[in-house]
Structure 1
Amino acid sequence: MNKFTKWLAVSSIISIVTIIGVFVYTIDPKTMESLHNIRPLYLVAAAGIHLLGFAMWGIRTKVMAGALGYHLEIKKAFEIVISSSFLAAMTPSSVGGEPLRIHLLQSDRMPVGSATAVVLGERVLDAIIILTAAPFALSLFGEVLGDGKLDSLLMFGQLFLFFILAILLYAIWKPHYTRRFLQWIINKCSRLFGDDKKHIFCNISEKVDTELEEFHYSIFFFLKEGRLGLITGIFCTFAFWFIEFSMLPVLLMGLNQYPSAIIVYAAQVLLMIVIIIPTTPGSSGVAEIGATTLFSVFVPTYMLGIIVVAWRALTFYLNLLVGGFVSFKILKDTVEVDELLK
Structure 2
Amino acid sequence: MNKIKKWILISLFISLVSGFIVVLFTFDSGTIGALTEIKPVYMLAAVCIHALTYVIWGLRTRSLCKALGHDVSYIKSFEIVTSGTLAASITPSSLGGEPLRIHLLHGQKIPLGKATAVVIGERVLDGIFILALAPLSIYVIRGVLEDSVFDFMFIFAELGLIIILFLTLYALWKPGPTKKVVYFFVHRLAPILGKKTDSALEKIIERVDSELEHFHDSISVLLNEGRRGLAFGILSTIAFWLVDFSMLYVILMGLNQHPDIVIVFASQIIVIVLLVIPATPGASGVAEFAGTTVFSLFVASSVLGIAVIAWRAFTFYMNVLVGGFVSFRILKDTEFIKNFLN
TM-score (norm 1): 0.83
Moved more, 58-67 or 160-169: 160-169
The answer as to whether partners of 1:328 and 1:334 remain within 8 angstroms in 2 is yes
**Alpha-carbon distance, 1:161 to partner:** 9.8
Please tell me whether residue 293 in structure 1 is matched to residue 282 in structure 2. no
Q: Mark the runs of 5 or more structure 2 residues left unpaired by the alignment.
A: 184-194
SS in 2 for 1:280: coil
Shift of 1:148: 6.0
Whole-Å separation in 1 of the counterparts to 2:253 and 2:220:
45
Structure 1 window deviating more from structure 2 (65-74 vs 4-13): it is: 4-13
Offset from partner CA, 1:258-284 (integer Å, 9 cap, x none) = 111111111111111111113311111
- The answer to whether the Cα contact below 8 Å between 2:87 and 2:94 also exists between their aligned partners in 1 is yes
Note the residue ranges of structure 1 that are not aligned, 5 or more in a row: 183-187, 194-200
- What is the CA distance between 1:2 and its match in structure 2? 4.2
Letter in 2 for 1:340: F
Give, in whole Å, the separation in 2 of the partners of 1:84 and 1:29. Answer: 41
Deviation at 1:224, TM superposition (A): 2.7
> Deviations for 1:71-114, whole angstroms, at most 9, x for unmatched residues?
11100111111110111112233211000000000000011111
Q: Which residue of 2 aligns with 1:197?
A: none
8 Å contact from structure 1 (residues 68, 218) kept in 2: no
TM superposition shift of 1:165: 8.3
Offset of residue 228 of structure 1: 1.5
- The CA deviation string for residues 153-196 of structure 1, in whole angstroms up to 9 with x for no partner, is 99779958965984686366437986xx99xxxxx9xx959xxx
Aligned to 1:111: 111
Give the match for residue 90 of structure 1. Answer: 90
Q: What is the rounded CA distance, in whole Å, between the counterparts of 1:158 and 1:4 in structure 2?
A: 40
Check whether the contact 1:257–1:299 (CA below 8 A) recurs between aligned residues.
yes
Counterpart in the other structure of 1:243: 243
Partner of 1:268: 268
2:192 aligns to what? none
Counterpart position of 2:68: 68
Say whether the 8 Å CA contact 2:327–2:333 is kept in structure 1.
no
3-state SS of the aligned residue for 2:259? Answer: coil
Query: Is contact 2:101–2:119 with CA below 8 Å preserved after alignment?
Result: yes
1:314 aligns with 2:310: no
SS of residue paired to 1:281: coil
Alpha carbons of 1:288 and 1:263: their partners in 2 closer, same or farther (altered >3 Å)? same
Relative distance call for 1:333 and 1:264 in structure 2 (3 A) is closer
2:282 aligned residue = 282
Q: Deviations over 1:195-244 (max 9, x none)?
A: xxxxxx9xxx9xx98x9988755532322342211111101100000010
Asked whether the 8 Å contact 2:18–2:288 carries over to 1, the reply is: yes
Identity %: 47
Structure 1 residues 14 and 48: alpha-carbon distance in aligned structure 2, compared to 1, 3 A threshold = same
- Aligned partners of 1:158 and 1:273 also within 8 Å: no
Partner secondary structure for residue 92 of structure 1: coil
Bigger mean CA offset, 99-108 vs 291-300: 291-300
CA contact (8 A) 1:42 1:254 kept: yes
Q: What is the identity, as a one-letter code, of the residue corresponding to 2:221?
A: F
User: Which stretch of the first structure deviates more once superposed, 291-300 or 87-96?
Assistant: 87-96
For 2:191, the equivalent position in structure 1 comes to none
Structure 1 15/149 Cα, relative in aligned 2: closer, same or farther at 3 Å? farther
What letter corresponds to residue 241 of structure 2 in structure 1?
A: W
Q: Distance in 1 between matches of 2:236 and 2:8?
A: 30
Q: Is the 8 A contact 2:121 2:222 kept in 1?
A: no
What does residue range 69-218 of structure 1 map to in structure 2 within 5 Å?
A: 69-145=69-145, 146=147, 166=167, 170=171, 173-174=174-175, 218=218
Conserved in 1, the CA contact under 8 Å of 2:15 and 2:284?
A: yes
2: distance between equivalents of 1:281 and 1:164?
26
Letter of the aligned partner of 2:175 in structure 1? K
**Displacement after TM superposition at 1:144 (Å):** 2.5
The structure-2 alpha-carbon separation of the partners of 1:164 and 1:103, relative to structure 1 and needing over 3 Å to count, comes to farther
* Structure 2 contact 135–158 (Cα < 8 Å) conserved: no
- Give distance in 1, aligned partners of 2:29 and 2:302: 8
Measure, in 2, the Cα distance between the counterparts of 1:97 and 1:141.
Answer: 30
Contact 1:172/1:219 (8 A) holds in 2: no
Equivalent residues of 1:38, 1:255 under 8 A apart:
yes
Question: Counterpart amino acid of 2:57?
Answer: W
Q: How does 1:15-30 map to 2 (within 5 A)?
A: 15-30=15-30
Question: Number of paired residues?
Answer: 325
The answer to whether 1:227 aligns with 2:235 is: no
The corresponding residue for 2:38 is: 38
Following superposition, the deviation at residue 294 of structure 1 comes to 1.1
| CA shift for structure 1 position 68 | 0.9
> Distance between the aligned counterparts of 1:162 and 1:43, measured in 2?
38
Q: CA RMSD in A?
A: 3.4
